[in-house]
Structure 1
Amino acid sequence: MTQATLPAVLVDAPLRPPVEGMRPTAAYGVLAGRLGAATVHADLRACLEGIDNVVRAAPLVIPPAMADVFSGGKRLRPLLVLAGAHAAGPPSASTRGRAVSGARAVELLHLASLVHDDIMDEAVTRHGVATISARAGNSRALLAGDYLIGHAHTAASALGAEAGALLGHTLVRLCEGQAEEASTLFDADRGEQSYFRAIGGKTGALIDAACRTGALAAGLDATTTRALGRFGHHLGVGFQLLDDLLDLTASHASTGKPVGHDIANGVYTYPTLWALRRDPGLRRLLEELARCEGPRTGPAGEAAHRVRASGALTATRLAIARRRERCLGILDEAVDGIGPDGVGLLADLAIAVLSHRDG
């Protein structure tokens, strides 16, 4: 799989949402096209219904009026768990059940991390919906996040001790990535190594865990499971690079955030770091922004314009393409463990996820 082209299945598969409120995406279209829409619909619905039951089970922790915080989204991580479980061929009913539990575990951990991120970022909204911390305060939001983490571990336990250990290790990596990012806010001297450490923990770790969890659900051998984890890591890093690119190019309507949101909050991502090495004026502007005590929208918008003018967007697209090629190369090595059909499924997913289709 060395030819990185958009798979034909994306053209033919209907991109209809499998559950109410979920965004139809190319990733869902790949799975529906290759595995059958009825199969993906049933497994994903079971996963999301389980999450909804968790969210609504303790109204003193998460009031029913706040359940909408956890609805919608692309649901990429549970889709990847399901893909990993199907990669070696049609799974048994037992394996499908294990995959649904694993998908629920990974998505619950992801949702918990978003709640905690909103506390740290003092975020008022996420994708246009008021956050728990904004509605009910940080104490309630912290409690809700911890509650979801507890249920994530319970769901992972259905797959055995190895899945539980994986979830715990993933949580550690999430915390390390978040701490790395927080330690470099408004730091114009931040290096690319710091950036990749941060996103390797914040985004790469969860997508790595999703792919490994699918492999564990299917009982794949250790070598293949590690390969799918590496695939997930590079997919996650590329996915975050794409998200950072969209922060500078996409509209507020499509992302739920103003253009240049990361710069305004002092998070200098790959495009900004690339531009900093080539535009001395950008450094002066960012230093001014760091001293700004009022709204940073104006300086952040000017900084975003300079980043775009520097050629950083092209450089970022090339970095995404390199991660996509790493994903495809790893799959070539894993063919003995999952077979050509499994390689084709995961390769199509990598190409779909690391395109601009869902931006």
Structure 2
Amino acid sequence: MKLTDIFWPFRSDMNYIERELDRAIDTKESVLQKASSHLLKAGGKRIRPVFVLLGGKFGTYDIERLKLVAVPLELIHMATLVHDDVIDDAELRRGKMTVKSKWDNRIAMYTGDYILARALMMVAELPNPQIHKILSRAMVDLCIGEIEQIRDLNNWEQNLRHYLRRIKRKTALLIAISCQLGAIAADAPAYVVRQLYAYGYNVGMAFQITDDILDFTGSEQTLGKPAGSDLRQGNITLPALYAYHRSPDAARFRTLAEENRVDEMIQAIRQGEGIDVARRLANRYLARAAQALEGLPDNRSKDALLKIARFIGERQF
């Protein structure tokens, strides 16, 4: 199964959202235009706009209204990527040069700020205070999540609770409110809004855990960056935490960590149980996501949401 197969029935509206993303970053300032376009053309799954549109199918579907949520949420996600690449000193993203490597850190930071500002301008066209409150609160949590990630760099004493709270703020929250805000913008019933948020949260948690697994199991060709990049940058994810704290060979792994023998740590994680432990946790989140949809009306959107959850559980990139 491929995401493109799942998205196929919605391809016309997704093509429209893609054009609106292009319009949203348009500026006469040439450097900002080039840097923003470079990021946009680097691609991405566009999973947040898709969730907005699918959430909108449970209410009064209006693409002109929904785009005022779908485009800003993807722009906010893009802005965080630009800032992440500066913090991580990343040269590649999705196999292409990052904005900071193609230009420099200053251009990258201002590009991220510009994209974020354009997102806020666009969503301001919606006269719904609830949408603005939810989005503002989520952006605060996103920033807290980024600070937590910096704080926990190379911190092997963090526990599972720290890790889960961090990935909620860093990834799951934006996916959850994509489903939620799509439904709100379409005036869907309150119980639908609640269940879609629960679905999005659980799918988002599984999505990030799966990303953290793929960082060890994927190849540079499929990941668009070297395998083990997170660990090399000091970002300690669930498979590594398990190897350090719970694995049968934890004492040896702690020695490797103390001596910063990253290649050997990556090999130990690949051969150990931590990847299976992480995969089982991701599957539990996906099961909860499917359960959150059980009371919702049966329609094409619900079917697509279930297929996306299955895709996340099976994806290899």
- TM-score with structure 1 length normalisation? 0.82
Shift of 1:344: 2.9
Task: Identify the residue that residue 31 of structure 1 maps to in structure 2.
Answer: 7
Percent of matched pairs sharing the same residue: 29
Task: Identify the residue that residue 122 of structure 1 maps to in structure 2.
Answer: 89
Q: Within 5 Å, give how 1:262-273 maps onto structure 2.
A: 262-273=230-241
Q: Within 5 Å, give how 1:109-188 maps onto structure 2.
A: 109-159=76-126, 160-188=128-156
Cα deviations across residues 217-243 of structure 1 (Å, max 9, x unaligned)? 221123321221121111111000111
Task: Identify the residue that residue 13 of structure 1 maps to in structure 2.
Answer: none
Query: What is the alpha-carbon distance in structure 1 between the residues aligned to residue 36 and residue 172 of structure 2?
Result: 28
SS in 2 for 1:57: coil
265-274 or 276-285: which moved more? 276-285
Question: Which residue type is aligned with residue 54 of structure 2?
Answer: A
Does residue 345 of the first structure (1) align with residue 313 of the second (2)?
Answer: no
Does residue 55 of the first structure (1) align with residue 17 of the second (2)?
Answer: no
Q: Structure 2: which 5+ runs fail to align?
A: none
Query: What is the alpha-carbon distance in structure 2 between the residues aligned to residue 153 and residue 136 of structure 1?
Result: 25
Cα deviations across residues 313-348 of structure 1 (Å, max 9, x unaligned)? 11111111101111011112x42xxx0224333222
Correspondent of 1:42 among 2, 12, 28: 12
Q: Aligned pair in 2 of structure 1 residues 214, 126: CA closer, same or farther (>3 Å)?
A: same
Cα deviations across residues 270-290 of structure 1 (Å, max 9, x unaligned)? 11111112211111111211x
Does residue 327 of the first structure (1) align with residue 294 of the second (2)?
Answer: no
Shift of 1:255: 0.3
Correspondent of 2:168 among 200, 203, 208: 200
Q: Structure 1: which 5+ runs fail to align?
A: 1-9, 11-25, 290-298
Query: What is the alpha-carbon distance in structure 1 between the residues aligned to residue 203 and residue 35 of structure 2?
Result: 35
Cα deviations across residues 19-50 of structure 1 (Å, max 9, x unaligned)? xxxxxxx2332232xxx3xxx22211221112
Does residue 245 of the first structure (1) align with residue 213 of the second (2)?
Answer: yes
Shift of 1:350: 1.4
Task: Tell me the matched-pair count.
Answer: 311
CA RMSD of aligned residues (A): 1.8
Shift of 1:108: 0.5
Task: Identify the residue that residue 64 of structure 1 maps to in structure 2.
Answer: 34
Cα deviations across residues 28-75 of structure 1 (Å, max 9, x unaligned)? 32232xxx3xxx222112211121123332424514266222221111
Correspondent of 2:46 among 65, 75, 91: 75
Question: Which residue type is aligned with residue 78 of structure 1?
Answer: P
